[in-house]
């Protein structure tokens, strides 16, 4: 499969009063076109910082200090790729929420409580699909069924015709400024609302025409998360990053949202980068998995291979710590504590907790190696 996103030796630090938090220590991963990549690991291991670094939205006092984030979005850059860390902020703004969009754990934080659902989803279409919508309106105005008074029809055709080539055309701006012409903008808003209703319907929300008139507080948590997904999809992203997007939902709703994401991946989005600490979710949803520990990626493999043949001692410990329906198998916790990333252990960061630690482990950081086809591990045992 062709690569869609690749991080190479990504390093991100936080400059806090307690010292430098070494949150990401050379994280290298690849997400292919058409795949779902799951990123797992204990709380604080750097999952969110990884995706925030990819999107270049690391919060203060964080800084991306090294590495590359290469995307292969279009045919023309499929060969070479574009390093996002070298692009301007303007480029990143046009990319975020467009070719790559992101949904977070807390839908309430993503929705504006004072705006109706329809306005919020429409706004996303108005921002990302203005050109397509102007083309559609122009075609409707040119259709023989259009009964508008001829001179008005001609002027509107001219305005929307121009806007379909350039959505930032002066004609649209003039239309927005002149009060008598302003009502023609209604066509654009109506088209955006129609698309909002369509997408809400596609996401399996009953009575979409009523839902668009409601406000976030009228909806349940699962419904709100679907609306957030609708907003993220309005721009036809190639990659959807979901950071613990289902963690706050009860299990049945969680299952529905995951099923929805799976369907969307097949039909609309090319790839998903799913962050979760739930290995059950990974087993059901992902094609490939990356396991993180204390700012390092320690193992990456296809989902079946990782669950069937875990190699890194941390991955093994993580899988042993998952409750199973078996009386014989005792639930094991991982000995020791998650390290402080201001003073992380030298060498392999897992060595103070590793049951198989050797002399070399505290000395040098183990590089990631491909030990079997498509199965990578960073551990001196292999």
Ligand X SMILES: Nc1ncnc2c1ncn2[C@@H]1O[C@H](COP(=O)(O)OP(=O)(O)OP(=O)(O)O)[C@@H](O)[C@H]1O
Adjacent-strand bridge partners of 92: none
Q: CB under 8 Å to 163, separation ≥6 — which residues? A: 130, 131, 134, 138, 169, 171, 172
Is residue 48 at the binding interface for Mg ion, with CB under 5 A as the rule? yes
Stretch that binds Mg ion, among 42-50, 180-188, 313-321, 357-365 (CB under 5 A): 42-50
Count of residues engaged in binding ligand SF4, rule: CB under 6 A: 14
Which of Mg ion, ligand SF4, ligand X, none interacts with 226 (beta carbon under 5 to 8 A by kind)? none
d(CA 233, CA 239): 10
- Within 8 A by CB and 6+ apart from 102, the residues are 51, 55, 96, 232, 240, 241, 242, 243
How many angstroms separate the CA atoms of 223 and 156, rounded? 37
* Binding range to ligand SF4, per CB under 6 A, among 103-111, 129-137, 242-250, 343-351: 343-351
Q: Output the smallest distance, CB 291 to ligand SF4, in A.
A: 11
Q: By C-beta, is 134 or 292 nearer to Mg ion?
A: 292
Token digits for 210? 């009523």
Interface of this chain with ligand SF4, residues 308 to 327, rule: CB under 6 A: 312-313
19-32 sheet: strands from edge to edge:
19-32, 3-16, 62-71, 82-83
The stretch among 46-54, 127-135, 158-166, 282-290 that binds Mg ion (CB under 5 A) is 46-54
Which of 366, 368, 375, 376 lies at the binding interface for ligand SF4 (CB under 6 A)? 366
Instruction: Please state, in angstroms and as integers, the Cα–Cα distance from residue 166 to each residue in 121, 133, 182, 187, 234, following that order.
Output: 22, 12, 19, 17, 19
Q: Rule CB under 5 A: is residue 53 a binding residue for Mg ion?
A: no
Q: Which of 2, 17, 59, 252 binds ligand X (CB under 6 A)?
A: 59
Q: Which of 1, 9, 16, 367 binds ligand X (CB under 6 A)?
A: 16
Least separation in angstroms between CB 349 and Mg ion: 18
Query: How near is the Cβ of 201 to ligand SF4 at its closest, in Å?
Result: 49
Rule CB under 6 A: say whether 88 interacts with ligand X: no
293 lies in the site for ligand SF4, by CB under 6 A: no
* 300 forms part of the interface with ligand SF4 (CB under 6 A): no
Is residue 358 close enough to count as binding ligand SF4 by CB under 6 A?
yes
Q: Which stretch binds Mg ion (CB under 5 A): 22-30, 40-48, 96-104, 141-149?
A: 40-48
Structure tokens at 304: 């079946």
Q: Considering only residues 248-307, where is the footprint of ligand X by CB under 6 A?
A: 277
**Pair 219, 192: CB distance under 8 Å:** no
The enclosing H or E element of 309 equals none
| 292 interacts with ligand SF4 by CB under 6 A | no
Tell me phi and psi for residue 240, to 5 degrees: -110, 125
| Alpha-helical runs (H) found in 143-214 | 150-165, 170-177, 179-182, 186-202, 208-211
CB 14 to ligand X: min, Å: 4
207 vs 214, 228, 258, 294, 376, CA distance in Å? Answer: 11, 17, 21, 45, 47
Classify residue 34 as left (phi > 0), alpha (psi -120 to 50) or beta.
Answer: left
Does residue number 35 form part of the binding site for Mg ion (CB under 5 A)? Answer: no
Q: Are strands 288-293 and 296-302 parallel, antiparallel or unpaired?
A: antiparallel
Residues across the chain: 382
In angstroms, the CA 30 to CA 70 distance is 9
Residue 366's binding partner among ligand X, ligand SF4, Mg ion, none (Cβ under 5 to 8 angstroms by kind) is ligand SF4
Tell me the number of residues near ligand X by CB under 6 A: 16
Per CB under 6 A, the list member of 356, 363, 364, 372 interacting with ligand SF4 is 356
Tell me which residues touch ligand SF4 (CB under 6 A): 312-313, 348, 350-351, 354, 356-358, 361, 366, 379-381
Instruction: Write out the residues near ligand X by the rule CB under 6 A.
Output: 14, 16, 21, 23, 41, 43-49, 59, 62, 277, 341
């Amino acid at each position: 499969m062709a690569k869609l996103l690749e991080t190479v030796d990504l390093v991100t630090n936080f400059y806090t009063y307690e010292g430098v938090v070494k949150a990401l220590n050379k994280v290298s991963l690849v997400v292919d076109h058409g795949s779902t990549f799951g990123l797992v690991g204990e709380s604080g291991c750097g999952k969110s910082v990884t995706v925030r670094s990819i999107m270049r939205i690391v919060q203060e006092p964080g800084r991306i200090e090294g590495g590359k984030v290469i995307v292969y979005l279009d045919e023309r850059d499929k060969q070479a790729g574009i390093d996002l860390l070298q692009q301007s902020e303007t480029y990143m703004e046009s990319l975020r929420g467009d070719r790559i969009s992101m949904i977070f754990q807390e839908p309430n934080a993503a929705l504006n409580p004072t705006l109706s659902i329809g306005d919020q989803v429409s706004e996303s279409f108005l921002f990302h699909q203005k050109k397509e919508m102007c083309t559609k309106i122009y075609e409707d105005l040119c259709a023989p069924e259009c009964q508008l008074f001829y001179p008005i029809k001609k002027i509107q055709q001219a305005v929307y015709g121009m806007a379909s080539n350039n959505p930032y055309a002066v004609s649209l701006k003039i239309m927005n400024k002149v009060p008598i012409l302003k009502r023609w903008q209604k066509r654009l808003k109506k088209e955006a609302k129609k698309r909002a209703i369509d997408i809400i319907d596609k996401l399996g929300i009953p009575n979409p025409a009523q839902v668009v008139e409601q406000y976030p507080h009228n909806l349940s948590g699962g419904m709100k998360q679907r609306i957030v997904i609708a907003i993220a999809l309005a721009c036809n992203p190639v990659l959807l990053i979901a950071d613990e997007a289902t963690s706050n939902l009860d299990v049945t709703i969680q299952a529905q949202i995951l099923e929805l994401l799976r369907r969307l991946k097949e039909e609309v989005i090319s790839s998903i980068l799913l962050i979760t600490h739930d290995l059950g979710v990974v087993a059901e949803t992902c094609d490939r998995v990356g396991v993180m520990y204390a700012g390092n990626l320690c193992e990456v493999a296809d989902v079946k291979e990782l669950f069937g043949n875990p190699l890194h001692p941390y991955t093994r410990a993580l899988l042993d710590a998952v409750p199973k329906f078996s009386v014989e198998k005792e639930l094991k916790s991982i000995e020791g504590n998650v390290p402080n990333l201001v003073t992380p252990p030298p060498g392999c960061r897992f060595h103070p907790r590793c049951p198989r630690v050797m002399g070399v482990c505290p000395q040098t950081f183990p590089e990631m190696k491909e030990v079997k086809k498509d199965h990578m591990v960073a551990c001196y045992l292999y």
